[in-house]
Structure 1
Amino acid sequence: MNREATVVSNAKISETVQGIEEASLLQAVINAVPTPIFYKDDNGCYLGCNQAFEEFIGLTKHQLVGKNVFELFDCELAEIYQKADLALIEAGGKQIYEAQVKYADGSLHDVMFHKACFHAINEEITGVVGAILDITDRKKMERELQRRAMTDSLTGLNNRAALMHELDQAIRVSKRHKKRVVFLMLDLDDFKQVNDTYGHQAGDALLIEACQRLKGCVRESDILARFGGDEFGIVLERTQGKEGAIVVAEKIIAALTKPFIVEGQETRVGVSIGIARSPADGITSQDLMKMADIAMYAAKAKGKGQYIFYSDE
């Protein structure tokens, strides 16, 4: 072999060795990343992954390479993955979205996919590379913060914001199905006297007991909320018209006029109820609440311990 041929041969060997070393280095680098990383060709077949992805999917890299999502996941999930990949390949650029995925151990996680298209010029390979960021803890915190924002801290009931949201939803559904929504506004009678006599802690205990009694007067599908103080609201979505609202109102009055035990003493309060119905009394949650509030104060003025409808329609 002449000198020139030897130089060319050595150069090719050097390129091959360099290629192996670069591939090994790249694999070592992505294996060190705790985030699952994968890459596929434009036909959706896996070309490789890191160790974190192996743990996520429950398969080794050698079991993964050459297979597509339909060979690895159930059909419904595979279609979602394929649809996202095809959209990315067609549009190019990057893709970020949230999803819920089941890990190899069966646990369900909230994740964020970060994906991008790539083109390896030397190998003439086009495909998708992606990373899966586990955001389960963040989503749990978000859900907990949202729950707290919509929950009354004393009683655990829905608060005013939650009830407004649910009432809006109920009104929208009722419009589609041409049904009525009934809203009850409640205010405990003589509750201030309990607070003044026994203190706020005793008053809070009475409110908690009152909530338990109210729960026993409505169905699980009904929406019960505390507005604050001694005011409550109830959304009846599937009540049988005026007669159904009367049945619920009378159950509430009977439940709340029974004596409460406060600081070892028998104490009585009552309840005044205002009732408004959509669409007759309003077509928005604000209107319905306003009319029920007016009816409730009319019930108090009439002598307390009773219910009044805003209108007879």
Structure 2
Amino acid sequence: MPTNEAGSADIVFAPAAVPARGQITRLRGQLAPQTQLVAVIEGADDLSPSAIECLFGEGIDDLIDPADAAAVLLCIARAKATFRRRQALHGEIEMLERVRTTLLAAMNNLPSPIFFKDADGLYRAFNTAFQTFYGKSREDILGASAFELTAFSTASTFIAADRRLITDGGVQIYETDVADANGAERHVAFYKSLVLRDDGSVEGIAGAMIDITERNEMEAQLREAANRDFLTGLYNRRYFMTHAETIMRRNQANGRPSYIAIADIDHFKGINDRYGHPCGDAVLRHVADILRATLGEAHLVARAGGEEFFIMLNCSSFREASRLVQRLRDAIAKHPYDWEDERLWVTASFGLTDIRSEERSLSPPLARADEALYDAKNHGRNQVQTMETQFVSDSGGI
């Protein structure tokens, strides 16, 4: 009777006539689960099928007739093969258990929420980060649906995405807003994949949540910074050219006029030469603040470079645009800038024009506005010069 490392028998031969009902069951209960129980019965070949079925039903692993030496040897060979398979399987199970334990520990240490839900959409496994994100205990989440964890609209988004994944298969990636345990809206990227059974049916969905709120905010800040003039905080020339043309085309499509102006600080070189470039920079910021405060959000203003500014005016008539530009000139002239112990009376000159309905770029109107600005400089500065071409709408009206 060989034994395993635990000291229990690997094979137990149970000599008997046809045992009474329950005898094998009791013996089976006294043995280790891995023990091979072999019933040794004289005349085993003559047993009826129902008797053999009863023996195996009560727990024997094999059946031999002691008079059949070949059958005994085959039984032992089968037992050895079974032991080898069990040992190999036991080793694989131990390895898988170690891997499972390691993976679970790793999952719980990961900062991103990870989850598995079954084919019915109920959460069956998740890591600590998942619990923390929703601020719920393991008992609250286990077996719960998305509707029990988050707002109805958000849960509906999850369920719709799951249905698409089940239909389409593969890997699914999408972004959405989810409220965390504190009620704060977080922008989250979901990565999901189907888990399939051996027969190809859906076992469930495994997924991870990556919080990209800060990343998106940083990207937005970087985009905004790329669109801004570093000195004045106004939009830069590149941004102005792109967005002013968009406004121009939209207005033309809707039969609305567009107006564009160029402003230039008077005698700016003299300010730099007399007071230095730090003072010049401060004056640029001063004028930019006045333009921003006077125009508000309805109009587009940018520092074009040096002491020059571009303005796209959202006005319904040339008269209204001209009055607004006069207000800008007046506001600059009436608000001096104090540099150290000296008050600087800063002024600016403006050139204003309209954009014709057939014009497809800003180059022609900017050239006209620049020409009007040149006239303002030549006529004494601190003034507005205009060059109206009469806006003609697509319908033919003026």
* Alignment gaps of 5+ in structure 2: 1-27, 29-35, 39-58, 63-82, 391-398
| 8 A Cα contact 1:202 1:263, kept in partner | no
* Alignment gaps of 5+ in structure 1: none
Does residue 3 (structure 1) correspond to residue 37 (structure 2)? The answer is: yes
| 8 A Cα contact 2:257 2:316, kept in partner | no
* Aligned CA distance change for structure 1 residues 186 and 264 (closer, same or farther; 3 Å): same
Does residue 119 (structure 1) correspond to residue 153 (structure 2)? The answer is: no
Does residue 191 (structure 1) correspond to residue 268 (structure 2)? The answer is: yes
* Aligned CA distance change for structure 1 residues 288 and 127 (closer, same or farther; 3 Å): farther
Instruction: Pick the structure with greater CA Rg.
Output: 2
SS of aligned partner of 1:224: strand
Match of 2:152 in 1: 75
Match of 1:240 in 2: 316
| 8 A Cα contact 1:34 1:52, kept in partner | yes
SS of aligned partner of 2:298: coil
The 2-side partners of 1:297 and 1:87 are apart by 62
CA-CA distance at 1:75 after TM superposition: 2.5
The correspondence of residues 84-95 of structure 1 with structure 2, limited to 5 A, is: 84-95=161-172
Match of 2:333 in 1: 257
| 8 A Cα contact 1:150 1:161, kept in partner | yes
The 1-side partners of 2:145 and 2:137 are apart by 14
CA-CA distance at 1:56 after TM superposition: 1.0
Match of 1:289 in 2: 366
| 8 A Cα contact 1:272 1:307, kept in partner | yes
Match of 2:281 in 1: 204
* Aligned CA distance change for structure 1 residues 269 and 281 (closer, same or farther; 3 Å): farther
The correspondence of residues 1-313 of structure 1 with structure 2, limited to 5 A, is: 1=28, 3=37, 5=59, 21=97, 25=101, 27-121=104-198, 125-237=202-314, 239-258=315-334, 259-280=336-357, 282-313=359-390
The 2-side partners of 1:189 and 1:146 are apart by 32
The range that moved more, 51-60 or 118-127, is 118-127
* Aligned CA distance change for structure 1 residues 156 and 7 (closer, same or farther; 3 Å): farther
| 8 A Cα contact 1:113 1:132, kept in partner | yes
* Aligned CA distance change for structure 1 residues 290 and 110 (closer, same or farther; 3 Å): farther
The 2-side partners of 1:51 and 1:6 are apart by 46
CA-CA distance at 1:115 after TM superposition: 1.5
SS of aligned partner of 1:3: strand
The 2-side partners of 1:225 and 1:184 are apart by 11
Q: Which has the higher contact order (CA 8 A, sep 6+)?
A: 1
The letter for the 2-side match of 1:3 is L
Question: Under a length normalisation based on structure 2, what TM-score does the superposition of the two structures give?
Answer: 0.68
The 2-side partners of 1:285 and 1:98 are apart by 37
CA-CA distance at 1:39 after TM superposition: 1.7
The 1-side partners of 2:138 and 2:253 are apart by 52
SS of aligned partner of 2:294: coil
* Aligned CA distance change for structure 1 residues 37 and 242 (closer, same or farther; 3 Å): same
The 2-side partners of 1:143 and 1:89 are apart by 34
| 8 A Cα contact 1:281 1:287, kept in partner | no
The letter for the 2-side match of 1:231 is E
Q: CA RMSD in A?
A: 3.2
CA-CA distance at 1:22 after TM superposition: 7.5
The letter for the 1-side match of 2:321 is A
* Aligned CA distance change for structure 1 residues 172 and 61 (closer, same or farther; 3 Å): farther
Q: How many residues align?
A: 309
Question: Under a length normalisation based on structure 1, what TM-score does the superposition of the two structures give?
Answer: 0.84
| 8 A Cα contact 1:210 1:256, kept in partner | yes
CA-CA distance at 1:176 after TM superposition: 4.6
The 2-side partners of 1:303 and 1:36 are apart by 68
The letter for the 2-side match of 1:218 is L
